[in-house]
Amino acid sequence: MSQSLVNESEQLDAETPQTIISHALDKYTPNISISFSGAEDVVLIDMAKKIRDDISVFTLDTGRLYPETYRFIEEIRDYYNIDIDVYMPDRESTEKLVKEKGLFSFYNDGHNECCSVRKIAPLKRALDGLDAWVTGQRKDQSPSRSDLPVVQIDPAFGGGELVKFNPLANWTLKQVWQYIFENDVPYNKLHEKGYISIGCEPCTRPVTPGQHEREGRWWWGEATKKECGLHSGNLK
């Protein structure tokens, strides 16, 4: 990471998420987009829309999402009156994977291959042409995110030129939900059924009281490997 970006990250680290988002939008619009999937991302959309109207938002449709998640995407589109660019997996790559390994190969040989086809490839298309993107990652979500900066050069995408903002890096899950309730922000109805971190239906389950939020994702794998590849640069 360049010294100028290191300085920028250090200066922004103590700022509010709203200040970080405002800085990001002012500096990179129109070549910046907010990645949307979960509760944190809707908080970012809510904050961004209160700063300016011309925000860009994208989401990834893996083809394996919960029905509640599809309805949630439309709810956000209508509630904020925004366009949401939906990126889907390549048909040929998906059909090849399913033909060769079936629909649930990830239970046996890990989720990396499936996530590569259904998430990574669409994400690359979503990021193509952007100078920066905004994510809802937090440090306390996973051991692999404990050192997450609020702004960085994306370590996995963009060839060293794509800037990645994580405005909620220093927030806790409690702060996220406090903002949601205080600002009447819509949320995925699966949260009312014990789900905290929500991904694809076969790879997500509710957590019990006392469990970490990411324990409901790829529960058969190691706790330190709970990244689908979208943020693979977090893995040491």
Residue 225 inside a domain? The answer is no
How many folded domains does the chain comprise? 1
Residue 224 inside a domain? The answer is no
Active site residue 228: yes
Q: What is the pLDDT of residues 175-185, one digit of tens each?
A: 999 999 999 99
Structural domain range at position 106:
3-185
Beta strand pairing call for 84-87 and 132-134? unpaired
Q: Which of 114, 115, 203, 228 is catalytic?
A: 228
Q: What is the pLDDT of residues 101-117, one digit of tens each?
A: 999 999 999 899 999 99
Q: What is the pLDDT of residues 123-146, one digit of tens each?
A: 999 999 999 999 999 998 877 788
CATH number at residue 21: 3.40.50.620
CA-based end-to-end distance of the chain: 16
Residue 198 inside a domain? The answer is no
Q: pLDDT band at 228, cuts 50/70/90?
A: low
* Alpha-helical runs (H) found in the chain: 3-12, 17-28, 39-49, 67-80, 91-101, 106-109, 112-115, 121-127, 173-182
